[in-house]
Structure 1
Amino acid sequence: MATDQHGGALYRVNAPHQHSRVTYAELFFDLVFVFAVTQISHTLLAHFTPLGVLQTTLLFLAVWWVWVYTSWVTNWLNPEMTPVRILLFALMLGGLVVSTSIPQAFESRGLWFALAYASMQVGRTVFLWVSTPPSRPAARMNAIRITAWLSLSAVFWIAGGFAEGQSRLLLWAVALGIEYCSAAARFWIPKYGASQVADWVVEGGHMAERFALFVIIALGESIVVTGATFAELTWTVETVSAFASSFVGALAMWWIYFHKGAEAGSEQISRSSEPGRLARIAYTYLHMPIVAGIIVAAVADELVLKHPGGHSDLKTVLSAIGGPLLFLLGTILFKHIIRGFLQLSHGAGIIALGILAWFAGGMSPLLLSILTTAIMVIVAVWESISLKSGAAGPRPEPRSGATGA
């Protein structure tokens, strides 16, 4: 791993086609998000109403965004250096406060959530600004741009922490909108304008590995939920069948993402002349529905394990169908960016889930779980067979587009 030779010891020098491994400090930092993902799924399970789903979605987008920004920063900075490690450890503390506040974020712990979140976003970006050497003026200006936008959103996060009820939801939605729109606007600020595509230099292999590990985190959380719930139940034919269906469903998701897609994505971004643009589209944005789908599927697994018999209620139908549907929508778009075509197996799976949703209310939760798992297994097998010849490799990279963190 190289570092800047002009006074920027903390800053990586990302040589073309170089692959820097994910460090132990980064993996240690990610452990906080195992807890965060668990908190989000449990919060969704406890508040599965239209308002609760909206609130939980906002919290998920916030957690995702703070992790994404940290992944970009540790792609630019060297996590093997002590100051960067200390930064990650401080962010871990903030992440624990954010995670523990999630269940009560719209009640008694809103201010704690807002203060911890805003401190992580602004503090980390100021650290990037200070750590970027003067020999990299474009990167330094990008850090200034990001700091300006995140400082603006922090005002709304903290104001929402002091507010209550719908006012908090509105203020936090504005804050989140500012953060997500800032990347799309390439962090435009008065006088200095927006960043350029060439300003965003990332080490593609490292970025792809970081996001693949987050998918592992989400899948691991679903297995933890399944195992913990199953351990507390009486083992009957129904509960054992529900457990088996949940486990096979998680395996199918792993296979769909990792068997070909993750490796192809790593190869494509590593050889791209505009890795920052590709990282923004394929990873920062298109991995959101992938991870969200895994979280929602984990909620469905817990519901089915606890109540495998009878008719499926709306909560069970939405989570059992919605989880795999979100996952397939994310993966088909991600692989489209990488391969240049829409995967037929994924499209067929999406259609099959849509048809299943029409009849799902009359099925038992167990039967619904088995059928959704069967669809995911078919998608995984179909894709594996269709790509077995190796003809569908990474496509030539797109030539245009904007980028951002």
Structure 2
Amino acid sequence: MTSTEASGVRRDPRSFKRATLLELFFDVFYVAMFAQLSMRFAADPSWGGLGQSLILLLAAWWTWSVTALATEFYDPRLRVIQIVIASTVFGVVLMACAVPGAYGDRGLLFAGAYVGLHLVRGILLVAALRRRSAHARAQRFLFWFCVSGSLWLVGGFVDPAWRAPLWAGALVIDYLAAALRYPTPLRGRVPLDQYDQLSVHFGERYQQIAILVLGELGLMATLQFGGVEYSPARTVAFLAAIAIALLFWQIYVLQTDKFVDRSAHRNPRGAARLASYVYAVLVTGVIATSAGVELVIHQPLGTTPATWLVLLVGGPVLFVLGRMGSEYVLLRLLSRSRLGWLALLVVLTPVLSALAPIFVTVVTMGVLVGITLTDMWRTRREATAQ
């Protein structure tokens, strides 16, 4: 950490635009988090298991998005912000370690780490910040994390059968409070004009985490293929998984420069308020796909259970919908061709249930190829028209 002191509490949108090295270091730990979550989805692909894993994923994602918003609103050169990021690293590491046993003997560890890192952030900011608007913002966040934190901690203590409902309720509070701009007694809501100043840094932070989660898909496929007995079917499944990761990347990078520009200059309020929700869908899609790929590499042939279809088909659908959400929020674009390809994949799902997992993966890959080719054709046509 540096000793550089910032001239003010609030980040100046015209100042440095790149993420700090500490922010990038923080992101690296999410590779472990994403890997743990992917394995958690694959370890228990029952309906109940998928729901439990989704709760953990949404909690992990909320930690990242709130931290990213803090480093966008507050100047990351401030010593207190650097301490906040460093302390959050410890919380994320503990959460990642607790993921496999979060609904067993590590429930309190997961809940305690999640609540602890949010409370530490809030307390440090409230204690250190003196500027009125920044201080009030930190108080609002701290109040609502205290409210949701009680459910998280109770869930960590009670019988595991009650854990998922309590944690789901806590997540509803976390996500809904942010959507309502943290309405707090005696403090009101976060003023809308505080969402109107964003720097290019904000868009780049989301790009960086998206690339990391896409890399996790390729990483997990490689690790799983390297750890199983070789067979032609598993080789095809592995190659299809790498192809899906590359297709995800191609779909993601389309018009990405426009997204960064719009988030900072054209529609900062929409980007600041909706990015965390839109990317929650995108990240969930990638992690679900990664878990599905892990299952297929281990068992490429045989029947395809319904819950496997949720991962193998639902994952790519969520990813594309998440990317389309970004396009709509920032560019007011809605790709009909992508909707058509996704509708085709959904319509084919009953047929896919009769196929082996490897064929489901190949068909899904084919739909992604169709989306990519259609995107390229549309982009070329638009460039020609200009």
Range of TM-score over shorter length: over 0.9
Question: Which ranges of structure 2 fall in alignment gaps of 5 or more residues?
Answer: none
The one of 185, 194, 201 equivalent to 2:189 is: 194
Say if 2:44 is the partner of 1:44.
no
Checking the alignment, whether the CA contact within 8 Å between 2:80 and 2:128 is kept in structure 1 is no
Say if 2:278 is the partner of 1:278.
no
Pair 3,275 (structure 1): closer, same or farther in 2 beyond 3 Å:
farther
Which range moved further: 384-393 or 207-216?
Answer: 384-393
Q: C-alpha distance in 2, partners of 1:188/1:301?
A: 42
Higher helix content, 1 or 2: 2
1:218-238: CA deviation from partner (whole Å, max 9, x where unpaired): 111111110011112333322
1:171-220: CA deviation from partner (whole Å, max 9, x where unpaired): 22222121111112211112332222102354342111111111112111
State the Cα distance separating 1:391 from its structure 2 match.
Answer: 5.5
Query: 1:104 maps to which residue?
Result: 101
Pair 233,105 (structure 1): closer, same or farther in 2 beyond 3 Å:
closer
Query: For residue 137 of structure 2, what is the amino acid of its counterpart?
Result: N
Q: C-alpha distance in 2, partners of 1:126/1:276?
A: 26
Q: C-alpha distance in 2, partners of 1:125/1:390?
A: 47
Report SS of the residue matched to 2:288: helix
Q: C-alpha distance in 1, partners of 2:161/2:37?
A: 20
The one of 82, 96, 116 equivalent to 1:119 is: 116
Checking the alignment, whether the CA contact within 8 Å between 1:245 and 1:369 is kept in structure 2 is yes
1:286-310: CA deviation from partner (whole Å, max 9, x where unpaired): 1111110000111111111112223
Q: C-alpha distance in 1, partners of 2:129/2:193?
A: 17
Q: Show the 5 A alignment for 1:48-59.
A: 48-59=45-56
Q: C-alpha distance in 2, partners of 1:115/1:70?
A: 17
Checking the alignment, whether the CA contact within 8 Å between 1:19 and 1:203 is kept in structure 2 is no
Query: For residue 241 of structure 1, what is the amino acid of its counterpart?
Result: V
Query: 2:262 maps to which residue?
Result: 268
The one of 217, 230, 233 equivalent to 1:235 is: 230
Checking the alignment, whether the CA contact within 8 Å between 2:151 and 2:170 is kept in structure 1 is yes
Query: 1:396 maps to which residue?
Result: none
State the Cα distance separating 1:387 from its structure 2 match.
Answer: 1.5
RMSD: 2.1
Query: 1:13 maps to which residue?
Result: 12
Checking the alignment, whether the CA contact within 8 Å between 1:339 and 1:392 is kept in structure 2 is no
Checking the alignment, whether the CA contact within 8 Å between 1:336 and 1:342 is kept in structure 2 is yes
Report SS of the residue matched to 2:181: coil
Query: 1:159 maps to which residue?
Result: 154
State the Cα distance separating 1:355 from its structure 2 match.
Answer: 1.8
Pair 377,133 (structure 1): closer, same or farther in 2 beyond 3 Å:
farther
Question: Which ranges of structure 1 fall in alignment gaps of 5 or more residues?
Answer: 394-405
Query: For residue 107 of structure 2, what is the amino acid of its counterpart?
Result: G
Q: C-alpha distance in 2, partners of 1:276/1:128?
A: 23
Checking the alignment, whether the CA contact within 8 Å between 1:20 and 1:203 is kept in structure 2 is no
1:28-81: CA deviation from partner (whole Å, max 9, x where unpaired): 111111111111111111121122111111111110111111001111233344
State the Cα distance separating 1:129 from its structure 2 match.
Answer: 3.0
Checking the alignment, whether the CA contact within 8 Å between 1:248 and 1:373 is kept in structure 2 is yes
The one of 302, 306, 316 equivalent to 2:294 is: 302
Q: C-alpha distance in 1, partners of 2:46/2:355?
A: 21
Query: 1:400 maps to which residue?
Result: none
Which range moved further: 150-159 or 81-90?
Answer: 81-90
Query: 1:79 maps to which residue?
Result: 76
Q: C-alpha distance in 2, partners of 1:131/1:343?
A: 46
- Over the matched positions of the two proteins, sequence identity in percent amounts to 26
Report SS of the residue matched to 2:313: helix
Q: C-alpha distance in 2, partners of 1:108/1:265?
A: 43
Q: C-alpha distance in 2, partners of 1:68/1:60?
A: 12
TM-score, structure 1 normalization: 0.89
Query: For residue 275 of structure 1, what is the amino acid of its counterpart?
Result: P
Q: C-alpha distance in 2, partners of 1:298/1:200?
A: 34
Query: 1:181 maps to which residue?
Result: 176
Q: Show the 5 A alignment for 1:3-402.
A: 5=7, 8=8, 11-15=10-14, 20-134=17-131, 137-260=132-255, 262-272=256-266, 275-281=268-274, 283-390=275-382
Which range moved further: 345-354 or 121-130?
Answer: 121-130
Report SS of the residue matched to 1:186: coil
